[in-house]
Amino acid sequence: MAFLRIVNRRAGWDTYDAINAWVDIEHQHPLGLIMHSACEVDGTVQVTQVWDSEEYARRYDEEVLEPALKLAGAPMSAEIHTFELLHLVTP
């Protein structure tokens, strides 16, 4: 079942851009990712993602995101909220 993940690392756009330079989410779509977005909340970047499963998200974090965070000098810790989606419509 799909799930929603909201992540805030308390970092700004410069950090988000540095991470994205490594993961290139616009062109290197991770297996299981349905949707990725970013917005600014209280001066920090908040990422919202919808995944096919928690396993896909966990694998992406371990294999792609965590190495990119280290390379970008970004915070490893984050405030993360997850929600199982009981209804999801994609056009």
Counting every residue written for the chain, the total comes to: 91
**Is residue 91 predicted with pLDDT exceeding 90?**
no
Q: What is the DSSP letter of 33?
A: E
Q: pTM to 2 decimals?
A: 0.90
16-23: long-range contacts at Cβ-Cβ below 8 A with a sequence spacing of 24 or more? 16/45, 16/47, 18/72, 18/73, 18/74, 19/65, 19/68, 19/69, 19/72, 19/74, 21/72, 22/67, 22/68, 22/71, 22/72, 23/64, 23/65, 23/68
> Domains along the chain?
3-84 (3.30.70.100)
* pLDDT tens-digit readout, 4-50: 999 999 999 999 999 999 999 999 999 999 999 999 999 999 999 99
pLDDT score of 38: 97
